[in-house]
Amino acid sequence: MPYAITDPRHPDVVAFYSMDTLIDGALKNEAGSLNAPITGATQVSGRFGKALQFNGNAASFVNMNGVISDPTALAISCWVDPNHASSNGKIFSHRDDSQALVQLAINNNQLQLQVRSSTSALVNIVAGATPSGQITHVLGVFTKSTGCRIYVNKTLVASSATTFSGNFHSSWTLIGGYSYSGVDVATDGNYSGTIDHFRLITRDVTQAEIDELGNEQPIHIAGNVTVDGEPSIVPVRIYDEADGRLLNEGISGADGNYSIPVYTFDPVHVMAIPGAGYRPLVHGPVTPLVAV
């Protein structure tokens, strides 16, 4: 079945970090098996649940090494709220120690996309400042055959038709930090502010997909668990009705209530797992709704 571009199961989405789930100090990659270790960044309230807060220094980043290697196209999608008191910083950096790089950055409070292959000159496109104190959707796109574009809240704000030869092999792939200091000093620096719902897509995106990414809404499954009539703290798991895949999981609170984000409007089944002596309860199919 076809998946929406916001669905982590889409085959072209190689990384989706919702920022909600940590596993042994690493961000869970909802789109694959490679989780991303966090250094210095902390979870805070975000647009969709949790976001990551970066403090703008070299000890604040997320290590995504291995998620991509030598892309011929890349779309970088996320929701950001930059700290405008800190004017420079990398939202995303994929680069080696000398030449090739793909970077989405803030430079003098201007949103910027930098692309350079192993054999091509640097292409640098600059958009206006992102709104201060407001969570904003930003999207940077590059393809070797068509060039670079930046979108802010679904609107194209900067572009270049320069094409690229060579490769984009990289030693480092990071969220919120830079991987090599000393090249393009004007944009070196670590990001200060929040990042939420970060995605990497290994191809160009259509206008319909740009709209879908920029219109993304928080989708949750919510309910209450009681055992023998009393609220209960239990694990709760959400499964896709069609293919049985585990979509997300959480734990109900002391009042028995739970609210678990999912990334699809397709019907799901909810499983609550009480303690010893009780069988798991499964409820469904349930249709996810936008959280209000």
Enumerate domains of the chain plus CATH numbers.
Answer: 13-214 (2.60.120.200), 219-290 (2.60.40.10)
Question: What DSSP string describes 239-266?
Answer: EETTT--EEEEEE--TTSEEEEEES--S
Res. 28 pLDDT band, cuts 50 70 90: confident
Q: Above pLDDT 90, what percent of the chain? A: 31
Residue with tokens 């919120």: 176
Mean of pLDDT over the chain: 84
Instruction: Please return the burial class of 98, using the count of CB atoms within 10 Å of its CB with bins 0-12, 13-18 and 19+.
Output: exposed
Q: CA-to-CA distance for 63 and 38, rounded, in angstroms? A: 7
**How remote is the C-alpha of 55 from its chain's centroid?**
18
Question: Which candidate, 190, 189, 252, places its Cα nearest to that of 222?
Answer: 252
Encode pLDDT of 192-222 as tens digits: 899 999 999 999 999 999 999 999 887 788 8
Q: Of 99-103, 134-138, 168-172, which has the strongest mean pLDDT?
A: 134-138
The confidence score (pLDDT) of residue 182 equals 43
Encode pLDDT of 147-188 as tens digits: 999 999 999 999 999 988 888 776 678 888 775 544 443 345
Query: Which one has a higher pLDDT value, 96 or 37?
Result: 37
Q: Is the pLDDT reported for residue 60 higher than 80? A: no
Report CA torsion sign: 157, 76, 114, 202: negative
Q: Which helix (H) or strand (E) covers residue 38, if one does? A: strand 36-39
Q: CA-to-CA distance for 194 and 83, rounded, in angstroms? A: 8
- pTM for this model (two decimals): 0.79
